[in-house]
């Protein structure tokens, strides 16, 4: 079939070339890495600090590059049951004026076999967990890793868990997210994430109320991704779960010193009261909300320990502003490349692991650093105040072809 992306087959290995890999963190990046490393024929233990494997109640956009990766892991059928496929993305000014649209079907056809998919995070996360377990992953919760020790010849590493227990591995992969402990272990110093000056209000609405208002109903029945761009702020929304849920993210100046806080609904509504009337209407349906302080990690000089027994992946290395909807996509790509590099290993000796990690880092560093920088640029462009620079931005956005609607 044209554009079909085949699922990889699991490599069968002799014991002497099979690595025992510990992945620290069962987020989207950690589970993706586990799948990819299992497909490369190695054994994987995933250690997660939380008491259960779960994701935040919010939506996530999966772009063609990441849907391609997920399909190569044999997840197309499972994910199709949970995915919403938006027809297009609309960029609007804050008063609601349409700036430009991009047709996702046309765009995806440039990359045959790929999709734009929107998920409830819990669905995507569960599918990754199911696939990792199906391929043979062992997953342990209540397992906070506080240190990684590497033996002198670099052949083995030990993760140290909070109560002092140690587990041995041939390779440790730190996928412990933006506030990564393993990044600090690698760097041997504290290294907090960098605040961006923005925070996100994240909310999920049930669409049943929206359907009573024709203006809002059209946002549900005709699945699209909508962006509203305004001075210092922007808003994004799309539907999930076949139209049952409406995901909304509001990106505003950061007025908090903490990472996640319960937000004040009135305060949030006041910020958007003069915007496209659909936004205040939507916000009037919201009863409670959380604020997420948005931080970044611009990258690292080196992602891996020289021994070849310890490396990092995902937000732990290159957390980005979510303005390109690409942070999880980059984590999934990291996992795909790491698995591909580890699939070439023919023995457990350090030199082979070192080479695999060098190639992994070489393939991923430039691309992920570019995405973090482009995320920062989007922050500037999306939040322009009305004026000549904003008009120039809109003119350039119109160069993306608009389908004949609205």
Nearest approach, Cβ of residue 172 and ligand FAD (Å): 11
Q: Which of 23, 34, 43, 48 binds ligand FAD (CB under 6 A)?
A: 48
> Is residue 44 part of the contact set for ligand FAD (CB under 6 A)?
no
Q: Is 327 in the site for ligand FAD (CB under 6 A)?
A: yes
Least separation in angstroms between CB 141 and ligand FAD? 9
Query: Is residue 117 at the binding interface for ligand FAD, with CB under 6 A as the rule?
Result: no
Q: Cα separation of 171 and 379, whole Å?
A: 37
Q: How far is the CB of 146 from ligand FAD (least distance, A)?
A: 7
Q: Which residue, chain included where needed, has tokens 């440039």?
A: 110
> What is the C-alpha separation between 26 and 284, in angstroms, rounded?
35
Contact residue for ligand FAD among 203, 295, 328, 342 (CB under 6 A): 328
* Secondary structure (H, E, C), the chain: CCCCCCCCCCCCCCHHHCCEEEEECCCHHHHHHHHHHHHCCCEEEEECCCCCCCCCCCEEEECHHHHHHHHHCCCHHHHHCCCECCCEEEEEECCCCEEEEEEHHHHHHCCCCCCCEEEEHHHHHHHHHHHHHHCCCEEECCCCEEEEEECCCCCCEEEEECCCCEEEECEEEECCCCCCHHHHHHHCCCCCCEEEEEEEEEEEEEHHHHCCCHHHHHHHHCCEEEEEEECCEEEEEEEEHHHCEEEEEEEEECCCCCCEEEECHHHHHHHCCCCCCHHHHHHHCCCCEEEEEEEECCCCCCCECCCCCEEECCHHHHCCCHHHCCHHHHHHHHHHHHHHHHHCCCCCCHHHHHHHHHHHHHHHHHHHHHHHHHHHHHHHHHCCCCCHHHHHHHHHHCCCCCCCCC
User: Pick from 200, 240, 283, 371: which binds ligand FAD (CB under 6 A)?
Assistant: 200
Q: Which of 279, 345 has the CB closer to ligand FAD? A: 279
**Angle separating helix axes 327-343 and 28-39, nearest 10 degrees:** 20
CB of 178 to ligand FAD, least distance (A): 6
Interaction with ligand FAD in 273-292: which residues (CB under 6 A)? 292
Tell which positions 136-155 bind ligand FAD, by CB under 6 A.
Answer: 143-145
Rounded to a whole number of angstroms, the minimum distance from the CB of residue 291 to ligand FAD is 10
User: Binding residue for ligand FAD (CB under 6 A) from 8, 23, 49, 297?
Assistant: 49
Cβ closer to ligand FAD: 50 or 211?
50
Q: Is 47 in the site for ligand FAD (CB under 6 A)?
A: yes
**329 lies in the binding site for ligand FAD (CB under 6 A):** yes
Per CB under 6 A, 199 contacts ligand FAD: no
Per rule CB under 6 A, is residue 331 in the interface with ligand FAD?
A: yes
Among 74, 322, 339, 375, contact with ligand FAD (rule: CB under 6 A)? 322
199 versus 216: smaller Cβ distance to ligand FAD: 199
Residue 137 Cβ vs ligand FAD, minimum distance, rounded to whole Å: 14
If one asks whether residue 375 binds ligand FAD (CB under 6 A), the answer comes out as: no
- Residue 90 sits in the site that holds ligand FAD (CB under 6 A): no
220 scored as a contact of ligand FAD (CB under 6 A): no
Could you say whether residue 43 binds ligand FAD (CB under 6 A)? Answer: no
From CA 383, how far away is CA 265, in angstroms rounded?
22
What residue is closest to ligand FAD based on CB?
27
Please identify which residue in 8, 21, 27, 226 interacts with ligand FAD, judged by CB under 6 A. Answer: 27
Q: Which stretch binds ligand FAD (CB under 6 A): 2-10, 21-29, 83-91, 357-365?
A: 21-29
Residue 309 Ramachandran class (φ > 0 left, ψ -120 to 50 alpha, else beta) = alpha
Instruction: State in angstroms the smallest separation of the CB of 29 from ligand FAD.
Output: 3
50 near ligand FAD, judged by CB under 6 A: yes
φ/ψ of 195, rounded to 5, equals: -65, 145
Summarize as ranges the residues that interact with ligand FAD (CB under 6 A): 24-30, 47-50, 60-61, 143-145, 175-178, 181, 200, 202, 249, 292, 314-315, 322, 325-329, 331
């Amino acid at each position: 079939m044209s554009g079909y992306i085949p699922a990889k087959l699991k490599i069968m290995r002799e014991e002497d070339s099979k690595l025992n890999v510990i992945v620290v963190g069962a987020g989207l990046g950690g589970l993706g890495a586990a799948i990819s490393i299992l497909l490369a024929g190695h054994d994987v233990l995933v250690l997660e600090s939380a008491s259960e494997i779960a994701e935040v109640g919010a939506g996530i956009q999966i772009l063609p590059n990441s849907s391609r990766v997920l399909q190569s892991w044999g997840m197309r059928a499972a994910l199709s049951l949970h995915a919403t496929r938006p027809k297009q993305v609309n960029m609007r000014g804050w008063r609601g004026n349409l700036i430009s649209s991009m047709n996702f079907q046309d765009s995806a056809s440039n990359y045959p076999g790929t999709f734009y998919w929107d998920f409830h995070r819990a669905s995507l996360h569960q599918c990754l967990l199911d696939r990792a377990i199906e391929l043979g992953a062992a997953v342990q919760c209540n397992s906070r890793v506080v240190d990684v020790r590497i033996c002198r010849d670099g052949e083995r590493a030990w993760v140290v868990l909070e109560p002092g227990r140690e587990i041995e591995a041939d390779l440790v992969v730190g996928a412990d997210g933006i506030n990564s402990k393993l990044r600090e272990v690698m760097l041997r110093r504290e290294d907090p994430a960098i605040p961006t000056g923005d925070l996100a209000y994240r909310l999920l609405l049930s669409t049943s109320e929206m359907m009573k208002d024709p203006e809002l109903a059209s946002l549900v029945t005709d699945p699209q991704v909508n962006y509203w761009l305004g001075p210092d702020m922007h808003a994004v929304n799309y539907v999930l779960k076949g139209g049952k849920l409406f995901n909304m993210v509001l990106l505003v100046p950061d007025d908090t010193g903490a990472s996640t806080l319960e937000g004040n609904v009135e305060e949030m509504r006041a910020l958007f009261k003069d915007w496209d009337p659909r936004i205040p209407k939507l916000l009037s349906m919201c009863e409670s909300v959380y604020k997420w302080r948005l931080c970044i990690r611009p990258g690292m000089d080196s992602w891996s320990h020289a021994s070849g027994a310890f490396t990092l992946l995902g937000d732990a290395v290159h957390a980005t502003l979510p303005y390109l909807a690409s942070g999880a996509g980059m984590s999934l790509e990291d996992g795909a490349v790491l698995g591909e590099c580890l699939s070439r290993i023919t023995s457990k000796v350090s030199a082979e692991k070192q080479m695999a990690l060098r190639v992994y880092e070489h393939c991923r560093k430039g691309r992920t650093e570019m995405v973090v920088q482009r995320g920062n640029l989007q922050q500037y462009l999306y939040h322009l105040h009305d004026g000549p620079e904003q008009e120039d931005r809109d003119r350039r956005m119109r160069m993306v072809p608009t389908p004949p609607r609205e």
